[in-house]
Amino acid sequence: MGVMDWVGRITGDKTPTGAADKHITAEMRGAEVGGLDFKSAVDAHMKWKGRLEAYINGTSDEDLRVDVISCDDKCPLGKWIYSRGGDDFGYSETFFDMKAHHAHFHRCAGDVVRTAQAGDKDEALKLLHHGDYVRASEKVKKLLAKLFVLVVDGKTAIDAHMKWKERLQDFVAGRSTESLDEFSVAREDLCSLGKWINNEGAETFRDNPNFHNLRSAHRKFHEAAGHIVSLASTGQADVAMQLLEDGDYAQASDDVTAALVDMFAKRD
């Protein structure tokens, strides 16, 4: 099962929110993103129910303590939330909501353990299978999946853009197997980022001022890239290689990356 299939399964959606399923790279499947293996985090979160049920039924060898279970900073996900997660994604409303629901989940789990330790097995099982515990658990799973899509959207968009420099360097140096032509490269709607900008990106970020900055910078970038291909194709490889490092191309490339970072950083 691919990561995006997994996201769809845990959120209950056939098509996950966002465009990451169309842009996710093979090397990212199942990999760590933003300092967290999201799939492992959700899988570990889902195992809590089995651990608590075994404890209630007396089939667990775990010594669960209410004061520890009730804390939201002791589990692997909680440690990430209060370290790199907060540092990298504290701006995000999705992260903020996930943090709050994760804390609530642990309080609910603590209530389950407390009830079991008081000898009320039936009530503990009721708390585990119904009510606040279940709602909090499902909310954490869905918000983690939503945050994953947000992170992957931003990372893959930037990665796709950054690969252009390497492609152009290889073309100018005569190492490329690609047959690049000026007019195709100068079009901003043919690359993967351009297609995203004109489709999913426009739908998601149309009201974000940084999206309009991105669209303008991306258009200038491809115009400059097309000029570099033209120079290389007419025997001016030295000039073309210099323009890859300085001038309109380099500035437009930096502007695209900056706009992408700002756009995702201010996403609600």
Judged against a pLDDT cut of 70, whether residue 23 lies above it is answered with no
Q: What is the structure's pLDDT at 39? A: 79
Residues in contact with 245: Cβ distance below 8 Å, sequence separation at least 6, in sequence order: none
Nearest to 230 by CA among 161, 193, 164, 184: 184
Mean pLDDT over the full length of the chain? 82
Residue with tokens 């930096």: 254
Mean pLDDT, residues 186-213 = 84
Q: What is the structure's pLDDT at 131? A: 80
Sign (positive/negative) of CA torsion 23, 29, 30, 36? negative
Residue with tokens 């929110």: 17
pLDDT tens for 99-138 read 999 999 999 999 999 999 999 999 999 999 988 999 999 8
- Does residue 164 contact residue 191 with C-beta atoms inside 8 Å? yes
Q: What is the structure's pLDDT at 203? A: 78
* Between 264 and 61, residue with greater pLDDT: 61
* Between 136 and 15, residue with greater pLDDT: 136
Mean pLDDT, residues 16-24 = 38
- Does residue 100 contact residue 132 with C-beta atoms inside 8 Å? no
Which tokens belong to 202? 């426009």
Estimate the share of the chain in helix, then strand, then coil, as percent rounded to the nearest 5.
75, 0, 25
pLDDT tens for 149-177 read 767 776 677 777 878 888 999 999 999 88
Q: Residue 182 half-sphere exposure, CB side, CA atoms within 13 Å? A: 10
The whole-angstrom separation of Cα 31 and Cα 255 is 28
- Does residue 11 contact residue 143 with C-beta atoms inside 8 Å? no
Quick check: pTM over 0.85?
no
Q: What percent of the chain has pLDDT over 70?
A: 83
pLDDT tens for 211-242 read 899 999 999 999 999 999 999 999 999 999 99
If you count them, how many residues does the chain have?
268
Q: What is the structure's pLDDT at 19? A: 38
Sorted by where each starts, the structural domains of the chain and their CATH numbers stand as 3-150 (1.20.120.30), 179-265 (1.20.120.30)
Paired strand residues for 99: none
Backbone angles phi, psi at 70, to 5 degrees: -75, -15
* Cα distances (angstroms) measured from residue 67 to each of 63, 64, 72, 77: 12, 9, 10, 17
- Does residue 7 contact residue 39 with C-beta atoms inside 8 Å? no
Residues in contact with 181: Cβ distance below 8 Å, sequence separation at least 6, in sequence order: 229, 233
